[in-house]
C-alpha cells in the first residue's frame, strides 16, 4: 500500500558523464527499519515501465541499463519501500543521453617536441561508437605571450601543432566535439599542458 507516512525520495536527479548515466536520490530517513528503493525506466515509445536492475536495494543510486541507447528518450522513476509500505513514485523529466550527458576532456597520452612542432597523441573521453563524428578543438599559445590562443580543429587522435619557434614553451588545451542529431555536443576543456620545443 502507498503510505502517507513513508516519504518519497528527494533530490531525484540524473547524473550523466561520458554517456555513463545514473539515477541518484537522497536517502529517506525513518525512525526504525531500513528503507529500500526500486527504480524503473521507460523509453519514449513504450508505456510499460522496465526494471533497471535496482529493485528493493539499499543503494541511493542506480546505473542506466546498457540497452538504453544514446539517442533514446527515457523517463525514470524511483520509490521508497519499508516492509509492505511504499512511497509515491518520483518521476524524472525526459532525458536523452546524447543531448544531456557531460563529455569530459580528452586524455593526452603523449607529447613529443621537435624544434618547430609538438606531436600530440590523444584518447577521446568515451569509447566512440560506429559512425561517431568526433573533432578535437585545440587551443595553443606561447607561454610568455598574452593568452591570445590560436585554434586548430583536428579529427585524428595523433596530430601536430606546427610553425612553432624553437626552444620555446608552448601550452595547449583540448576539448572534444561530437556531432549529434541536433548539432554538436561540446566537451570540457583539458587542463593546459606546457612543453618546450626542441633546439635545432
DSSP track, the chain: -B-TTSPPPEEEEEEEETTEEEEEEEPPP-SSS--EEEEEEEETT--S-EE-S-SSBS-SEEEPPTTS-TT--EEEEEEEEETTEE---EEPPPB-HHHHPBP-PPEEEEEEE-SS-EEEEEE-SSPPPTT--EEEEEEEEETTS-S--EEEEESSSEEEE-SPPTT-EEEEEEEEEEEETTEEEE-PPPPPEEEEPPP-
35 or 148, higher pLDDT: 35
In a domain, 181, yes or no: yes
% the chain with pLDDT above 90: 86
91: confidence class by pLDDT, cuts 50, 70, 90: very high
Residues 14 and 79 in one domain: yes
Residues 76 and 112 in one domain: no
Indicate if 112 and 191 belong to the same structural domain: yes
What pLDDT digit, counting tens, does each position of 23-82 carry? 999 999 998 889 999 999 999 878 899 999 999 999 999 999 999 999 999 999 999 999
Residues spanned by the domain of 124: 107-196
What's residue 198's pLDDT? 97
Confidence of residue 4 (pLDDT cuts 50, 70, 90): low
Residue 98 resides in a domain:
no
Question: Is 96 part of any domain?
Answer: no
Q: What is the 3-state secondary structure (H, E, C) of 76-104?
A: EEEEEEECCEECCCEECCCECHHHHCECC
Amino acid at each position: 500500500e502507498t503510505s502517507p507516512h513513508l516519504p518519497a525520495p528527494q533530490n531525484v536527479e540524473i547524473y550523466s558523464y561520458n554517456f555513463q548515466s545514473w539515477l541518484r536520490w537522497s536517502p529517506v530517513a525513518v525512525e526504525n527499519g531500513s528503507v529500500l528503493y526500486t527504480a524503473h525506466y521507460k523509453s519514449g515509445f513504450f508505456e510499460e515501465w522496465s526494471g533497471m536492475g535496482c529493485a528493493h536495494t539499499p543503494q541511493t543510486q542506480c546505473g542506466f541499463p546498457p540497452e538504453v541507447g544514446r539517442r533514446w528518450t527515457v523517463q525514470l522513476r524511483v520509490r521508497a519501500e519499508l516492509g509492505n509500505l511504499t512511497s509515491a513514485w518520483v518521476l524524472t523529466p525526459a532525458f536523452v543521453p546524447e543531448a544531456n550527458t557531460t563529455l569530459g576532456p580528452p586524455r593526452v597520452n603523449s607529447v613529443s617536441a621537435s624544434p618547430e612542432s609538438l606531436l600530440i597523441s590523444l584518447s577521446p573521453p568515451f569509447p566512440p561508437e560506429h559512425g561517431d563524428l568526433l573533432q578535437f578543438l585545440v587551443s595553443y599559445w606561447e607561454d610568455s605571450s598574452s593568452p591570445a590562443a590560436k585554434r586548430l580543429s583536428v579529427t585524428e587522435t595523433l596530430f601536430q601543432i606546427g610553425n612553432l619557434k624553437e626552444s620555446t614553451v608552448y601550452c595547449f588545451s583540448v576539448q572534444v566535439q561530437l556531432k549529434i542529431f541536433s548539432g554538436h555536443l561540446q566537451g570540457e576543456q583539458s587542463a593546459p599542458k606546457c612543453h618546450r620545443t626542441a633546439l635545432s
